[in-house]
Amino acid sequence: MSLIIDHLSVSLNSKEILHDISLMIKSGEIHALMGPNGSGKSTLAGSLMGNETYKVKGERLKVKVDDKDITNLKTEERAREGLFLAFQNPIAVPGVTVPNLLRTALNLSKNPPESKRAVNNPALSFSEFNKRLLTTSKQFNIPQEFLKRSLNEEFSGGEKKKLEMLQAVMLKPKFAIFDEIDTGLDVDALKIIARGILELKKNGTGIIVITHYNRILKYAQPDYVHILADGSLVETGNKSLALEIEKNGYKKWTNKIL
């Protein structure tokens, strides 16, 4: 199974931010996406999820999950095809708890035929759902009290990131994009989040980890590291590329940085 990004260009307010991006992520692979601030990483993540703010170039865009072209699907339909995005700045949703959200997402997979399921795990009964939620929240050191509060409202930065990972592990998506999920995490939380990434990998999820730091990649080793500079993919390598960036920065790939 692959997520195929085929010649994707994206504009915001008539300015082209991403230029002709092609990338293939296979099941169970971890791809790290690195690049200077403003290079377009979050724009790529949002475009993959079908954020309507972004104008994608019709003719040249192809985003495929399995053999299905998802280019014209809305965000919720892309989620149903098995795509998951953990936002760089998770959005607060007053009145909606994490269990509410998860049950809704998992229930979407209940009625449609197998091929149309939201997530690639079978529908869960209420008690199975609660059991899994309890186990998974313990795994991520998330107090039960957090599950009664509104989504991303008044949680600390690190708590929000752990709640995002809890959702990903519960949903078992086909492909997951984590946009700076390692930012602002303490050392223990970082290891917990990395374990979540590895668990997803083991279950066959294809993963894009957008990050500025090598430290998460030490615990969740990437199969590939890509560099996005000024909206273009300029290099692909292995984990040693992340070490090189840590040492020398991005000046080799962009002339804007002194």
Give me the 84-123 binding string for ligand ATP, x by CB under 6 A, dash otherwise.
Answer: ----x-----------------------------------
Distance CA 33, CA 27 (A): 17
Which of residues 9, 30, 43, 205 is near ligand ATP by CB under 6 A? 43
CB of residue 215 vs ligand ATP: minimum separation in angstroms?
16
Q: Which does 17 bind (CB under 5 to 8 A by kind): ligand ATP, Mg ion, none?
A: ligand ATP
Give CB contacts under 8 A, 24+ apart, made by 189-195.
189/141, 189/158, 189/161, 189/162, 190/215, 190/216, 190/219, 191/219, 192/139, 192/140, 192/141, 192/162, 192/165, 193/161, 193/162, 193/165, 194/219, 194/220, 195/139, 195/219
Question: What is the nearest approach in angstroms of ligand ATP to the Cβ of residue 131?
Answer: 37
Q: For residues 113 and 105, give the distance between their C-alpha atoms in angstroms, rounded to a whole number.
A: 15
Q: Is residue 50 close enough to count as binding ligand ATP by CB under 6 A?
A: no
Specify the residue, 19 or 191, whose C-beta has the smaller distance to ligand ATP: 19
Choices 40-48, 75-83, 135-143, 147-155 (CB under 6 A): range interacting with ligand ATP: 40-48
Binding Mg ion (rule: CB under 5 A), the pick from 9, 21, 33, 42 is 42
CA separation for the pair 46, 49 (Å, rounded): 5
Output the CA angle 173-218-238, nearest 5 degrees.
Answer: 80
Q: Which lies closer to ligand ATP via its Cβ, residue 19 or residue 149?
A: 19
Closest contact distance (angstroms) between CB of 126 and ligand ATP is 38
Phi, psi (rounded to 5 degrees) for 77: -70, -35
User: Using CB under 6 A, which of the segments 10-18, 69-77, 99-107, 167-175 binds ligand ATP?
Assistant: 10-18
Q: How many CB atoms lie within 10 A of CB 256?
A: 12
Give the count of residues interacting with ligand ATP (CB under 6 A): 13
Q: Which option in Mg ion, ligand ATP, none does residue 38 bind, with CB closer than 5 to 8 A by kind?
A: ligand ATP
Q: Quickly count: other Cβ atoms within 10 Å of residue 242's Cβ.
A: 23
Contacting residues toward Mg ion, per CB under 5 A: 41-42, 88
Contacting residues toward ligand ATP, per CB under 6 A: 12-13, 15, 17, 35, 37-43, 88
